[in-house]
């Protein structure tokens, strides 16, 4: 009897261990992401600092939606597209940590802000920002932004040529200081790109102008939250400028707990603890299975049913991040840019004097614009 019991027990234990061994072996056999070939130590670092967007694009084309770049011995794994970035956006901070990125990252908002401060100070800053971004505050900032813009543009002579980049950077700094404490380089870049695209694609400038005429016809020169909500064309032009010129190249986290991803082709990869994992808004915004002819500036794409369907997938539009750490400044950004650009479109004829290839403004070029004050005619 004892013998039978011992045999049964051994059988149960053997089955248990056999299952465990099988499970471990199965885990081991799961693939790690492909590693980008580069010169040891400095190869990828050189490309990452010289031309990060091209580095990500080339390797996406070569390896697909999941690949690892070695930077000074550290594995950085890119997750491109909604299928493989779900866990990235939904995982707890204890699994994918922003705070651990302190060790690696260049601070997002400059020294002393966001990643560059202690977790406690960071929490205080976010609480302060959250209060500052409440709906009634957002409504209040629209008036502040308009007053600042009117004051700023009133100093322009009636006509002339100026560097739009310099002017918008200056104005955005003034409006952000007036509304919130802190800096806001993303909004300045987006305001400038919105203008470059509009001036390069005059058909959209005309559509935005027609919309402004209709809005002024209904409300006069008044601008408030609801009136900004009626500016659909301008909204789409800003959205498209952000899609094509996303100021965010990668959003990184430190992986503290291994996880799996499955690509749309059905390949499974294990992402080990210790990797830096990152999504890339600049690349994800140009995926051809989410956007028809993705390199083309086409604000009207958002009206197409197919495009709407494609981009309704969770985490397919990540210009402002998503999930746990989604950007709290999205509404503020749209309100500000719509206020400034509606003012410019209503009050000025604008023509681009600088010439650079379509959409190829590199961020530091001057944008010389010839302008002339006008009265809207109906």
- Chain residues binding ligand HEM by CB under 6 A are 98, 126, 129, 180, 184, 186-187, 190, 242, 247-248, 251, 281, 319-321, 325, 327-329, 332-333
DSSP 265: T
Q: Which is nearer to ligand HEM, 201 or 248 (CB)?
A: 248
Least distance between ligand HEM and beta carbon 176 (Å)? 7
The token duo for 310 is 């494609």
The alpha helices in the chain, defined as continuous H runs, are 2-29, 43-50, 52-63, 82-90, 119-132, 135-153, 164-179, 185-200, 202-219, 225-229, 232-244, 281-284, 305-310, 330-347
Least distance between ligand HEM and beta carbon 125 (Å)? 8
Residue 317 CB contacts under 8 Å (≥ 6 apart), including other chains:
243, 285, 311
Least distance between ligand HEM and beta carbon 197 (Å)? 14
Least distance between ligand HEM and beta carbon 67 (Å)? 19
Q: Which is nearer to ligand HEM, 205 or 320 (CB)?
A: 320
Partners of 351 in beta bridges? 370
Least distance between ligand HEM and beta carbon 191 (Å)? 8
Least distance between ligand HEM and beta carbon 337 (Å)? 8
Q: Which is nearer to ligand HEM, 68 or 248 (CB)?
A: 248
- Sheet containing strand 66-71, strands side by side: 66-71, 74-79, 276-279, 251-255, 96-97
- Residue with the CB atom nearest ligand HEM in the bound state: 329
CA 97 from centre of chain: 19
Partners of 279 in beta bridges? 251
* C-alpha dihedral sign at 193, 198, 204, 209: positive
Place of tokens 């909204």: 235
Q: Which is nearer to ligand HEM, 172 or 344 (CB)?
A: 172
Closest CA to 207 of 240, 174, 183, 242: 240
Least distance between ligand HEM and beta carbon 185 (Å)? 9
Q: Which is nearer to ligand HEM, 39 or 126 (CB)?
A: 126
Q: Which is nearer to ligand HEM, 190 or 347 (CB)?
A: 190
Least distance between ligand HEM and beta carbon 203 (Å)? 24
Q: Which is nearer to ligand HEM, 194 or 342 (CB)?
A: 194
Q: Which is nearer to ligand HEM, 129 or 352 (CB)?
A: 129
Q: Which is nearer to ligand HEM, 166 or 324 (CB)?
A: 324
24 burial class (0-12, 13-18, 19+ CB within 10 angstroms)?
Answer: exposed
DSSP 35: B
The token duo for 330 is 């999205």
Distance CA 191, CA 208 (A): 15
């Amino acid at each position: 009897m004892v013998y039978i019991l011992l045999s049964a027990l051994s059988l149960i234990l053997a089955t248990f261990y056999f299952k465990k061994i099988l499970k471990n072996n199965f885990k081991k056999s799961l693939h790690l992401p492909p590693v980008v070939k580069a010169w040891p130590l400095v190869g990828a670092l050189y490309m990452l600092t010289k031309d990060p967007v091209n580095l990500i694009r080339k390797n996406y084309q070569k390896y697909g939606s999941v690949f690892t770049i070695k930077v000074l011995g550290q594995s950085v794994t890119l997750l491109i597209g909604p299928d493989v970035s779900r866990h990235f956006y939904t995982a707890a901070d204890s699994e994918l940590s922003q705070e651990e990125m302190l060790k690696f990252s260049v601070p997002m908002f400059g020294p002393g802000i966001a990643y560059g401060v202690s977790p406690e100070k960071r929490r205080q800053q976010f609480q302060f920002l959250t209060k500052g971004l409440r709906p009634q505050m957002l409504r209040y900032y629209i008036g502040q932004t308009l007053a600042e813009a009117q004051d700023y543009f009133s100093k322009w002579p009636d006509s002339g040529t100026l560097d739009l980049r310099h002017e918008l950077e200056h104005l955005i700094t003034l409006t952000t200081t007036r509304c919130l404490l802190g800096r806001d380089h993303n909004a300045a870049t987006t305001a400038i790109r919105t203008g470059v695209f509009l001036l390069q694609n005059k058909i959209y400038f005309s559509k935005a102008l027609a919309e402004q005429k209709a809005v002024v016809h209904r409300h006069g020169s008044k601008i408030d939250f609801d009136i900004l909500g009626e500016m659909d064309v301008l909204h789409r032009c800003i959205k498209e400028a952000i899609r094509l010129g996303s100021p965010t190249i990668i959003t990184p986290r430190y992986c503290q707990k291994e996880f799996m991803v499955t690509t749309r082709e059905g390949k499974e990869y294990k992402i080990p603890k210790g990797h830096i994992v990152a999504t890339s808004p600049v690349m994800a915004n140009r995926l051809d299975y989410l956007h028809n002819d993705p390199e083309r500036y086409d604000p009207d794409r958002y009206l197409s049913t197919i495009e709407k369907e494609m981009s309704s997938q969770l985490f397919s539009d990540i210009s402002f991040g998503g999930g746990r750490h989604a950007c709290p400044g999205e509404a503020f950004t749209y309100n500000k840019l719509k206020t400034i650009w509606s003012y410019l479109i209503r009050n000025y004829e604008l023509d681009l004097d600088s010439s650079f290839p379509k959409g190829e403004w590199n961020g530091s070029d001057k944008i010389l614009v010839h302008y002339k004050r006008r009265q809207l005619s109906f």
